[in-house]
Amino acid sequence: MMKNAHRVLEQYFGFSSFRFGQEPLIGHALDKKNALGIMPTGGGKSLCYQIPGLLLDGTAVIISPLISLMKDQVDSLNSHGIASTYINSSLSYEEQSQRMFDVQRGRYQFVYVAPERFDSEGFISSLRRTKLSLIAFDEAHCISQWGHDFRPSYRSVVGQLQKLGNLPVVMGLTATATEEVTKDIQHLLSIEDDHVVNTGFSRDNLNFQIVKGKEKHDFIQDYIKTRPKESGIIYAATRKDIDRLHQWLSREGVKVAKYHAGLSEQERKSAQNQFIKDEVTVMVATNAFGMGIDKSNVRYVIHYALPMNIESYYQEAGRAGRDGERSDCILLFSARDIQLQKFLIEQSLMEEEKKTEEYQKLQQMVNYCHTDKCLQEYMLTYFKDPFRHEPCGMCSNCLHTGEIKDITRESQIILSCVKRMNERYGSGMVAKVVKGSKSQKVMETRFHKLSTYGLLSDLKEKDIMQMIQFLVAEGYLAVEDGKFPLLRLTQESLAILKGEETVQMIIENASKAHQELDVNEDLFENLRMLRKRLAEEHKIPPYVVFSDATLKELCQAKPKTKSEMLQVKGVGEKKFEQYGVLFLEALQEETHQYS
């Protein structure tokens, strides 16, 4: 049977090998053993039910609480030549009954449904008359009341299943399940311990980075400039921030859309579509964005503000790199954001006990920003990952190339200068004074008479600014939130001024150049344009045509024939039939042009 599974993997999906965890799960399903798969986002859970669904006789029913994902999934299967459909509330009653009728006749190998479907007795009796291959619970953690996303309607499916005389093998799939949730799912879906496959939470293609003490806008600008065509999400905490970032990036000529609760449903939908279809490259959004989308080629996720806890952060950041290609997860840290999160907790209507718990979770999020250990490891430890991990070798802590410098003296000068300026100026002015600037404003305020004036004249003003931001990030200085951000001292400042504490800062030598992939950018761009055109023609998202990973491999391998092209990851028979010749042509053209 597993041999057939390999054949189907190649033939329909164009992949040559299984990912970690896929094989045992598929094996259990083929042996008709109910099974549970716990694999990270992007781990490839869909294939775990799709392959048995193709091999077993009958129609597979996939239950998913994310209605917005169904169409994508179904489009994707159909594009592989696999007859599939979905039934949910977005369809008219007539359409629903027509599709259900076709399901009964065995026209489809896959039918995706929302949990609510099972409330309908009509649906149940239709299913009873259908030959079923398997039933899969996607996002299975939603059936457990211990999970962070419990849906009562999902749980009640379990009771309804008993009414089916023809219950086939059942699979559950999820990316997040604590021990408690796992046990609960096992109990509800009758899954034995031996049939639980847990691959851990590690996402090896994600490159976690923390950026401290840099002006956030400067960072974003520099970052986007080096990858203008890649898709990315910037998460911000407030509507105001989102509107501002969106306006600023548009002005900078970035193709950007925004998404937050203040927009109409129509506006949100349109923004989401533009992003999915690669019409815009950057999405600025609240963390509500991304729940129901499966875009596989998100190359980076930037957090403009501190998330409230590690769980949310890992989920949001994890929306990058579902296709397994290397992607960045960048957190722009500033100490001020901690105050905002504390404020949100304080203002909330939670019980005191729950508040304390939230404060502790927030503290662990803050610790993540200050740790000098591997960032991947920090999170996997937090999640009690069942596997041991080595340092990832690519996060900003594993990679820091800068030298650690003692900046205690510089800090003392800056702090005492802030004090002498009566804590009534922002970082720009403070930097000018310690630098010894002769600007009119400094002269007017007579700050050139201060004893701290010019004490850091050997440094660049820009470097002084960075130090000030770093001191703010570390909590040695605070920023007063008024019309102008004014610097003031904190409790922590005193220890520095008194010489009781030292300050270390990692000074980066030069900003590390973006690691260019070894592909011809022009060619990649051509293929990307072709993909976009085909996607528009077929009314499907671009990544359903081919993933970024496949396009890159095409650029590198430059296949000339059908059989060569079939060797490329992500190209199966059906895909070749649909798009193969066009891509081969595009690759041929390129060879003439650049050779």
Q: Nearest distance from residue 325's CB to ligand ADP, in Å?
A: 10
Task: Report the site for Mg ion in 40-99 (rule: CB under 5 A).
Answer: 45
- Binding partner of 429, given Mg ion, Zn ion, ligand ADP, none, CB within 5-8 angstroms per partner class: none
**Cβ neighbours of residue 534 closer than 8 Å, sequence gap 6 or more:** 545, 579, 582
Pick between residue 28 and residue 45 the one whose CB is nearest to Mg ion: 45
- Binding partner of 358, given Zn ion, Mg ion, ligand ADP, none, CB within 5-8 angstroms per partner class: none
Q: Nearest distance from residue 46's CB to Mg ion, in Å?
A: 5
**Cβ neighbours of residue 123 closer than 8 Å, sequence gap 6 or more:** 100, 113, 117
Pairing verdict, β 231-235 and 256-259: unpaired
Pick between residue 49 and residue 470 the one whose CB is nearest to ligand ADP: 49
Q: Nearest distance from residue 65's CB to ligand ADP, in Å?
A: 13
Pick between residue 338 and residue 399 the one whose CB is nearest to Zn ion: 399
Q: Is 277 exposed, middle or buried (0-12, 13-18, 19+ CB in 10 A)?
A: middle
210 is a site residue for Zn ion (CB under 5 A): no
551 SS3 class = helix
- Binding partner of 296, given Mg ion, ligand ADP, Zn ion, none, CB within 5-8 angstroms per partner class: ligand ADP
186 token code pair? 């096992």
Pick between residue 282 and residue 394 the one whose CB is nearest to Zn ion: 394
- Binding partner of 289, given Zn ion, ligand ADP, Mg ion, none, CB within 5-8 angstroms per partner class: none
Partners of residue 135 on adjacent β-strands? 61, 170
- Binding partner of 580, given ligand ADP, Mg ion, Zn ion, none, CB within 5-8 angstroms per partner class: none
Nearest to 231 by CA among 280, 180, 184: 280
Rounded to whole angstroms, the Cα distance separating 473 from 477 reads 8
Pick between residue 45 and residue 552 the one whose CB is nearest to Mg ion: 45
Q: Nearest distance from residue 580's CB to ligand ADP, in Å?
A: 18
Rounded to whole angstroms, the Cα distance separating 389 from 74 reads 36
324 is a site residue for ligand ADP (CB under 6 A): yes
CB atoms near residue 549 (< 10 Å): 20
500 token code pair? 């009781």
Nearest to 531 by CA among 518, 519, 547, 517: 547
229 token code pair? 């065509």
* Cα first-last separation, the chain: 46
Nearest to 476 by CA among 544, 554, 415: 415
Of the candidate spans 96-104, 123-131, 317-325, 476-484, the one that interacts with ligand ADP by CB under 6 A turns out to be 317-325
Rounded to whole angstroms, the Cα distance separating 74 from 64 reads 12
Of the candidate spans 199-207, 318-326, 470-478, 506-514, the one that interacts with ligand ADP by CB under 6 A turns out to be 318-326
Task: Report the site for ligand ADP in 565-594 (rule: CB under 6 A).
Answer: 569
- Binding partner of 19, given ligand ADP, Zn ion, Mg ion, none, CB within 5-8 angstroms per partner class: ligand ADP
15 is a site residue for ligand ADP (CB under 6 A): yes
- Binding partner of 365, given Zn ion, ligand ADP, Mg ion, none, CB within 5-8 angstroms per partner class: none
Pick between residue 64 and residue 397 the one whose CB is nearest to Zn ion: 397
Task: Report the site for ligand ADP in 264-303 (rule: CB under 6 A).
Answer: 294, 296
Q: Nearest distance from residue 399's CB to Zn ion, in Å?
A: 7
Rounded to whole angstroms, the Cα distance separating 137 from 46 reads 11
Partners of residue 282 on adjacent β-strands? 232, 256
Pairing verdict, β 403-406 and 504-507: antiparallel
Q: Nearest distance from residue 44's CB to ligand ADP, in Å?
A: 3
The answer to whether the CB of 301 falls within 8 A of the CB of 316 is yes
Three-state SS letters, 157-200: HHHHHCCCCCCCEEEEEECCCCHHHHHHHHHHHCCCHHHEEECC
Nearest to 131 by CA among 108, 157, 162: 108
547 is a site residue for ligand ADP (CB under 6 A): yes
Nearest to 239 by CA among 263, 269, 212: 263
Pick between residue 259 and residue 378 the one whose CB is nearest to Zn ion: 378
Which of 184, 241, 278, 323 contacts ligand ADP by CB under 6 A?
A: 323
Pick between residue 211 and residue 544 the one whose CB is nearest to ligand ADP: 544
Task: Report the site for ligand ADP in 211-240 (rule: CB under 6 A).
Answer: none
Q: Nearest distance from residue 139's CB to ligand ADP, in Å?
A: 9
Q: Nearest distance from residue 186's CB to ligand ADP, in Å?
A: 19
Q: Nearest distance from residue 289's CB to ligand ADP, in Å?
A: 17
Rounded to whole angstroms, the Cα distance separating 169 from 55 reads 13
State the number of CA atoms in the 13 A half-sphere of 357 facing the CB: 5
Partners of residue 36 on adjacent β-strands? 172, 196
CB atoms near residue 587 (< 10 Å): 20
19 is a site residue for ligand ADP (CB under 6 A): yes
Which of 26, 35, 36, 41 contacts ligand ADP by CB under 6 A?
A: 41
Task: Report the site for Zn ion in 360-399 (rule: CB under 5 A).
Answer: 374, 376, 391-392, 395, 398
Q: Is 166 exposed, middle or buried (0-12, 13-18, 19+ CB in 10 A)?
A: exposed
State the number of CA atoms in the 13 A half-sphere of 189 facing the CB: 34
Q: Nearest distance from residue 24's CB to ligand ADP, in Å?
A: 13
Q: Nearest distance from residue 290's CB to Mg ion, in Å?
A: 13
Which of 5, 47, 362, 379 contacts ligand ADP by CB under 6 A?
A: 47
Could you list the residues that contact Zn ion (CB under 5 A)? 374, 376, 391-392, 395, 398
Could you list the residues that contact Mg ion (CB under 5 A)? 45
Could you list the residues that contact ligand ADP (CB under 6 A)? 15, 18-19, 22, 39, 41-47, 294, 296, 322-324, 547, 569
